[in-house]
């Protein structure tokens, strides 16, 4: 049995290919992520549950999210002129990102499920907090100067943010 599905990661379609593998133990599961080919390849024993498959895929998706968000933060920090002391990628329920007064930034891994420009907006937003630790007009002016489309992104998250919690 073979099953093909897909997932959108930072604007790119990744194929999810699941193959039942009789030579594996009944509960055995092997997941391979190929960033170049943009696919997840899963070999599963006969008795692997769907929920176990999803969990295993999610682990790989989170790894890729960490790589993408780390490199995007590096690129955008160079544009903004401020870099975080520490960057952590988390699975936060309520916030897409946050910036502490110590200059540490947290981002939700789920941001990579959003269109790239809106993912970038959240990174811009948190980086801008490294200059202005509030939501003053100085903050919004600075954010606009580095991310002119920020209002569209805020709108996008209001309308579509919940969809990022579907997986
Ligand atoms: Zn903010």
10-51: pLDDT as tens digits: 999 999 999 989 889 999 999 998 988 999 999 999 999 989
Distance 126 CA to ligand 1 centre (A): 6
The pLDDT score that the predictor gives to residue 35 is 86
pLDDT at residue 1 tops 60: no
State the residue range of the domain holding 8: 2-165
Distance 36 CA to ligand 1 centre (A): 34
Distance 5 CA to ligand 1 centre (A): 35
> Which pTM value belongs to this model?
0.92
Read off the pLDDT band of 94 (50, 70, 90). Answer: confident
Distance 84 CA to ligand 1 centre (A): 14
CB within 8 A of 56, min separation 6: which ones? 29, 31, 42
Distance 13 CA to ligand 1 centre (A): 30
Mean pLDDT for all residues in the chain: 94
Distance 20 CA to ligand 1 centre (A): 46
Distance 11 CA to ligand 1 centre (A): 24
Read off the pLDDT band of 2 (50, 70, 90). Answer: low
Distance 100 CA to ligand 1 centre (A): 10
Distance 25 CA to ligand 1 centre (A): 49
119-134: pLDDT as tens digits: 999 999 999 999 999 9
Distance 140 CA to ligand 1 centre (A): 9
73-92: pLDDT as tens digits: 999 999 999 999 999 999 98
Distance separating alpha carbons of residues 115 and 121, to the nearest angstrom = 10
The pLDDT score that the predictor gives to residue 93 is 78
Read off the pLDDT band of 4 (50, 70, 90). Answer: low
Q: Work out how many domains the chain is built from and give that number.
A: 1
CATH number at residue 61: 3.30.2010.10
């Amino acid at each position: 049995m073979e099953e093909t599905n897909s997932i959108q990661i930072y604007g790119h379609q990744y194929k999810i290919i699941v193959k039942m593998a009789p030579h594996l133990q009944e509960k055995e599961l092997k997941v391979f992520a190929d960033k170049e080919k943009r696919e997840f390849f899963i070999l599963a024993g006969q008795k692997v549950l769907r929920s176990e498959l999803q969990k295993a895929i999610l682990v790989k998706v989170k790894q890729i999210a960490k790589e993408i968000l780390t490199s995007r933060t590096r690129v955008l920090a160079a544009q903004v002129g401020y870099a975080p002391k520490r960057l952590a990628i988390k699975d936060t329920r309520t916030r897409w990102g946050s910036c502490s007064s110590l200059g540490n930034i947290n981002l939700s891994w789920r941001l990579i499920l959003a269109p790239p420009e809106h993912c970038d907006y959240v990174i811009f937003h948190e980086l801008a907090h490294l200059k202005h630790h509030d939501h003053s007009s100085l903050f919004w002016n600075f954010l606009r100067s580095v991310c002119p489309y920020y209002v569209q992104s805020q709108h996008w998250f209001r309308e579509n943010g919940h969809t990022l919690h579907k997986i």
